[in-house]
Chains A and B, each alone.
Chain A
Amino acid sequence: MERVMRDKKAAAIFILPAFMLFTLIIIVPVVMSIYYSTLDWNGIGRQTFIGFSNYIELLTDRDRFLPAVYHTFIIAAASVFIQLPLALLLALILASKVKGERFFITVYFIPVILSAVVIGQLWMRIYFPRGGLLNTLLINLGFMDPTRPTAWLGDVNTALGAVLVPILWQYVGYHMLLYYSGIKSLPPEIYEAARIDGAGFWQTAFKITIPLLKPVLQVSLTFCVVGSMKVFDLVRVMLTDGGPSGSGEVITTLMVRRMFYPSNRYGYGSAMAIILILMCVILYQFVAHIFRDRDKNRKGKVRYE
Chain B
Amino acid sequence: MKLKRVFSILLAALMCISVMTGCLSGGDEGTDGDIVLRFWNIWGGGDANHEAVRKVINDFNASHPGVRVVVEYFENEAYKTMIRTAVAGDEVADVFSTWGAGFSRPFYEAGKLLNLDEYLNDGTLDKLYGGALNYFIYDDSVYGLTIGRNVSGFFVNTKVFEDAGAEIPATWEELVEASEKILASGKIPIMTSSRERWVIGMLFEGMVTKAVGASKVNATINKEADGGYSDPLFLEAINRLGELIDNGFINSDRAALTRDEALASFINGDAGLYYMGSWECSALEDDSSLIKGNVDWIPFPTIPGGKGAPTDFNGGAIDGLVVSANTAHPEAAAAFVKYFTENLSREGDYMPVWNTVEIDMAIRPAVFARIIEATENATDYVIWWDTFLDGDDVTIYQDALDRFVNGTITAEQFHEELKKIHP
Q: Are A152 and B84 in contact (CB under 8 A)?
A: no
Q: Are B14 and A114 in contact (CB under 8 A)?
A: yes
Question: Interface segment, B152-160, B189-197, B300-308, B343-351?
Answer: B189-197
Q: Are A127 and B394 in contact (CB under 8 A)?
A: no
Q: Are B402 and A244 in contact (CB under 8 A)?
A: yes
Q: How far is the CA of A262 from the CA of B195 in the complex (A)?
A: 15
Query: Does residue A156 face the partner (Cβ distance < 8 Å to B)?
Result: yes
Q: How far is the CA of A102 from the CA of B112 in the complex (A)?
A: 57
Q: Are A45 and B110 in contact (CB under 8 A)?
A: yes
Q: How far is the CA of A261 from the CA of B195 in the complex (A)?
A: 16
Please classify the interface of chain B as helix (H, G, I), strand (E, B), loop, or mixed, using the class held by over half of its residues.
helix
In the complex, what residue of chain B is closest to A262 when comparing beta carbons? B394
Q: Are B252 and A151 in contact (CB under 8 A)?
A: yes
Query: Does residue A263 face the partner (Cβ distance < 8 Å to B)?
Result: yes
| A45-B109, A154-B256, A156-B406 given; A113·B196 CB < 8 A | no
| A43-B88, A44-B107, A114-B14 given; A245·B403 CB < 8 A | yes
Encode B260-271 as 1/0 by CB contact (under 8 A) with A: 010001000010
The minimal Cβ–Cβ distance linking B342 to chain A, given in whole angstroms, is 29
Q: How far is the CA of A129 from the CA of B406 in the complex (A)?
A: 16
Query: Does residue B85 face the partner (Cβ distance < 8 Å to A)?
Result: yes
Q: Are B256 and A129 in contact (CB under 8 A)?
A: yes
In the complex, what residue of chain A is closest to B261 when comparing beta carbons? A128
In the complex, what residue of chain B is closest to A156 when comparing beta carbons? B406
Q: Are A151 and B253 in contact (CB under 8 A)?
A: yes
Q: Are B406 and A244 in contact (CB under 8 A)?
A: yes
Across-interface contacts of A153 in B (CB, < 8 A): 195, 255-256
Count of chain B residues with Cβ under 8 Å from any Cβ of A?
Answer: 47
| A44-B112, A153-B256, A262-B395 given; A246·B7 CB < 8 A | no
Across-interface contacts of A155 in B (CB, < 8 A): 255-256
| A44-B112, A114-B14, A245-B406 given; A264·B399 CB < 8 A | no
Q: Are B87 and A44 in contact (CB under 8 A)?
A: yes
Across-interface contacts of B107 in A (CB, < 8 A): 44
Please classify the interface of chain A as helix (H, G, I), strand (E, B), loop, or mixed, using the class held by over half of its residues.
loop
The minimal Cβ–Cβ distance linking A267 to chain B, given in whole angstroms, is 12
Count of chain A residues with Cβ under 8 Å from any Cβ of B?
Answer: 45
Q: Are A261 and B81 in contact (CB under 8 A)?
A: yes
Q: How far is the CA of A247 from the CA of B255 in the complex (A)?
A: 11
Q: How far is the CA of A240 from the CA of B85 in the complex (A)?
A: 20
The minimal Cβ–Cβ distance linking B186 to chain A, given in whole angstroms, is 9
In A123-158, the 8 Å CB interface with B consists of: 127-130, 148-149, 151-156
Query: Does residue A106 face the partner (Cβ distance < 8 Å to B)?
Result: yes
| A42-B106, A45-B110, A262-B395 given; A241·B81 CB < 8 A | no
Query: Does residue A291 face the partner (Cβ distance < 8 Å to B)?
Result: no
Q: Of the candidates A113, A127, A245, A264, which one forms a contact with B402 in the assembled complex, judged by CB atoms under 8 Å apart? A: A245
Q: Of the candidates A45, A105, A262, which one forms a contact with B398 in the assembled complex, judged by CB atoms under 8 Å apart? A: A262
Query: Does residue A239 face the partner (Cβ distance < 8 Å to B)?
Result: yes
Q: Are B253 and A261 in contact (CB under 8 A)?
A: no
Across-interface contacts of B110 in A (CB, < 8 A): 44-45
The minimal Cβ–Cβ distance linking B397 to chain A, given in whole angstroms, is 9
In B102-148, the 8 Å CB interface with A consists of: 106-107, 109-110, 112
Across-interface contacts of B81 in A (CB, < 8 A): 256, 260-261
Across-interface contacts of A257 in B (CB, < 8 A): 395
* Interface-centre pick from B2, B80, B196, B395 (highest chain A CB count, 10 A): B395
Q: Are B392 and A154 in contact (CB under 8 A)?
A: no
In B69-87, the 8 Å CB interface with A consists of: 77, 80-81, 84-85, 87
In the complex, what residue of chain B is closest to A130 when comparing beta carbons? B253
| A241-B197, A245-B403 given; A260·B80 CB < 8 A | yes
The minimal Cβ–Cβ distance linking A237 to chain B, given in whole angstroms, is 10
In the complex, what residue of chain B is closest to A147 when comparing beta carbons? B186
Q: How far is the CA of A113 from the CA of B14 in the complex (A)?
A: 9
Query: Does residue A175 face the partner (Cβ distance < 8 Å to B)?
Result: no
In B383-422, the 8 Å CB interface with A consists of: 386, 390-392, 394-395, 398-399, 402-403, 406-408
Q: Of the candidates A110, A239, A246, A260, which one forms a contact with B195 in the assembled complex, judged by CB atoms under 8 Å apart? A: A239
Q: Are A241 and B392 in contact (CB under 8 A)?
A: no
Across-interface contacts of B61 in A (CB, < 8 A): none
Across-interface contacts of A156 in B (CB, < 8 A): 406-408
Encode B22-66 as 1/0 by CB contact (under 8 A) with A: 000000000000000000000000000000000000000000000
The minimal Cβ–Cβ distance linking B189 to chain A, given in whole angstroms, is 15
Across-interface contacts of A243 in B (CB, < 8 A): 255
Query: Does residue B18 face the partner (Cβ distance < 8 Å to A)?
Result: yes
The minimal Cβ–Cβ distance linking A255 to chain B, given in whole angstroms, is 12
Q: How far is the CA of A148 from the CA of B84 in the complex (A)?
A: 42
In the complex, what residue of chain B is closest to A118 when comparing beta carbons? B14
In the complex, what residue of chain A is closest to B268 when comparing beta carbons? A130
Query: Does residue A115 face the partner (Cβ distance < 8 Å to B)?
Result: yes
Q: How far is the CA of A82 from the CA of B100 in the complex (A)?
A: 48
Q: Are A245 and B88 in contact (CB under 8 A)?
A: no
Query: Does residue B11 face the partner (Cβ distance < 8 Å to A)?
Result: yes
Query: Does residue B68 face the partner (Cβ distance < 8 Å to A)?
Result: no
Q: Are A63 and B399 in contact (CB under 8 A)?
A: yes
Query: Does residue B19 face the partner (Cβ distance < 8 Å to A)?
Result: no
Query: Does residue B3 face the partner (Cβ distance < 8 Å to A)?
Result: yes
Across-interface contacts of A246 in B (CB, < 8 A): 399, 402-403
Across-interface contacts of A262 in B (CB, < 8 A): 80, 386, 391, 394-395, 398
Q: Are B109 and A44 in contact (CB under 8 A)?
A: yes
Q: Of the candidates B255, B395, B403, which one forms a contact with A151 in the assembled complex, judged by CB atoms under 8 Å apart? A: B255
19 additional A-B pairs beyond A260-B84, A264-B391, beta carbons within 8 Å, are: A44-B109, A44-B112, A64-B399, A105-B3, A106-B6, A114-B14, A118-B14, A129-B252, A129-B256, A153-B195, A156-B408, A239-B195, A241-B197, A241-B398, A241-B402, A244-B255, A260-B81, A262-B80, A265-B392
Footprint of B on A, CB under 8 Å? 42-46, 63-64, 102, 105-106, 110, 113-115, 118, 127-130, 148-149, 151-156, 159, 239-241, 243-247, 256-258, 260-265
7 contacts between A and B (CB under 8 A): A46-B109, A106-B7, A129-B253, A156-B407, A245-B403, A261-B391, A264-B390
Footprint of A on B, CB under 8 Å? 2-3, 6-7, 10-11, 14, 18, 77, 80-81, 84-85, 87-88, 106-107, 109-110, 112, 194-197, 252-258, 261, 265, 270, 386, 390-392, 394-395, 398-399, 402-403, 406-408
The 6 nearest A-B residue pairs measured at CB: A154-B256, A154-B255, A264-B391, A129-B253, A151-B256, A151-B253
